[in-house]
């Protein structure tokens, strides 16, 4: 049954361009103007975060758009404090739209006396008053179980499939989707199935933590257009090395499709100087000027899928329908044309 209350969007400082783009797409879908709720999220001189909402939100269905990307702690605290402000202002429901879920890599104990920070963050969000989470490509799917509230995990694969179909039109039979490690095989296989491509794996061997001793390619890549697929890219060391190994094994060209472009430290320089023809990322994390200026980095939008997911949550219809590439085609019509 449709919700009689209109959805309202509010954003922190983590990725305002994406928040505004989502509002624009919702305006297009709804046929009425949707704007971000007027608020200020500022810092005192000692870096404390202060939030003030200038509009009445009593009884409203609120959606906070805030990825917890770098600086992760500041953006997480903004999200929690905005949630508290809305809860104390009697919002009817608070949904956190977290395009990039920070701390997701700390989803288990890998050594003795270490935390499971993803679970701690989930507890903090629920305690603050968040009643639902909408995110994209969690680093580990089991993080959904860390929450005792509904979690909708969208996937970038349907969007990437549309881009690949456009960019490699007429050459899809030459495409091989590559997982950069054994742990990402399921993600790579899923995209390969969508586009009808072959599958390969780059197997990493480590002598000690943080250092890759060697890589072995499992699968046929000679003469193929290889697409490395992963959920995030941090310093790009492994990605650049994997691209080199694929070229050494006879690949015709190498591209990468990565959902979250963390791209910290020397990442942009490594990608620019690598053998990769292109790196495609989404805008779940606000790109830096260096990323925008890189010759071989391209950004695809997520606002269409997030806007539709918010509307589906608001009116009580299926979010899983957005997992299908065919369902996204009308939303992304014309987006991938040169």
What is the set of active-site residues?
Answer: 204
* Binding-site entries for D-ribose 5-phosphate: 206, 230, 234-238
The distance of Cα 16 from the centroid of its chain, to the nearest Å, equals: 15
The angle at the Cα of 210, spanning 209 to 216, to the nearest 5 degrees, equals 95
How many other CB atoms sit within 10 Å of the CB of residue 269? 13
Residue 147, burial from CB neighbour count under 10 angstroms (0-12, 13-18, 19+):
middle
Evaluate the omega torsion of the peptide bond into residue 71 and state whether it is cis, within 30 degrees of 0: yes
- Give the C-alpha separation, 173 to 194, whole Å: 13
* Binding-site entries: 46-48, 105-106, 139, 181, 206, 230, 234-238
Secondary structure element (H or E) that encloses residue 286, with its range? none
User: Could you tell me how many helices (H) and strands (E) the chain has, helices first?
Assistant: 10, 14
- Give the C-alpha separation, 137 to 155, whole Å: 5
Annotate 241-269 with DSSP letters as a single string: HHHHHHHHTT-SEEEEEEEEE---TTHHH
């Amino acid at each position: 049954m449709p919700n009689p209350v209109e959805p309202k969007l509010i954003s922190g400082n983590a990725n305002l361009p994406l928040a505004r783009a989502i509002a624009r797409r919702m305006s297009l879908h709804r046929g009425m103007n949707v704007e971000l709720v007027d608020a200020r999220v500022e810092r005192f001189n000692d870096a404390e975060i202060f939030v003030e909402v200038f509009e009445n939100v009593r009884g409203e269905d609120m959606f906070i758009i805030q990825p917890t990307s770098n600086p992760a702690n500041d953006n997480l605290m903004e999200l929690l404090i905005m949630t508290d402000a809305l809860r104390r202002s009697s919002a009817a429901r608070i949904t956190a739209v977290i395009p990039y879920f920070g701390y997701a890599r700390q989803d288990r104990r890998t050594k003795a006396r270490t935390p499971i920070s993803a679970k701690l963050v989930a507890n903090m969000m629920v305690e603050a008053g968040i009643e639902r989470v909408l995110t994209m490509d969690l680093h580990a799917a089991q993080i959904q179980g860390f929450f005792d509230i509904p979690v909708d995990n969208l996937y970038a694969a349907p969007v990437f499939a549309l881009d690949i179909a456009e960019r490699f039109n007429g050459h899809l039979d030459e495409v091989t989707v590559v997982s950069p490690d054994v742990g990402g095989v399921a993600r790579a296989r899923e995209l390969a199935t969508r586009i009808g491509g072959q599958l390969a794996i780059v197997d990493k061997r480590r002598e000690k933590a943080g250092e890759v001793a060697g890589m072995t390619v499992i699968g046929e890549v000679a003469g193929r257009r290889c697409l490395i697929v992963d959920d995030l890219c941090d310093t790009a060391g492994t990605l650049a090395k994997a691209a080199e190994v694929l070229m050494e094994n006879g690949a015709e060209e190498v591209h990468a499709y990565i959902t979250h472009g963390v791209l910290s430290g020397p990442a942009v320089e490594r990608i620019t100087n690598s053998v990769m023809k292109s790196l495609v990322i989404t805008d779940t994390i606000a790109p830096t000027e260096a990323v925008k200026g890189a010759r071989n980095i391209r950004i695809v939008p997520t606002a269409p899928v997030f806007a539709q997911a918010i509307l589906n949550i608001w009116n009580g219809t299926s979010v899983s329908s957005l997992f299908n590439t065919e369902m996204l085609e009308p939303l992304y019509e014309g987006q991938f044309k040169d």
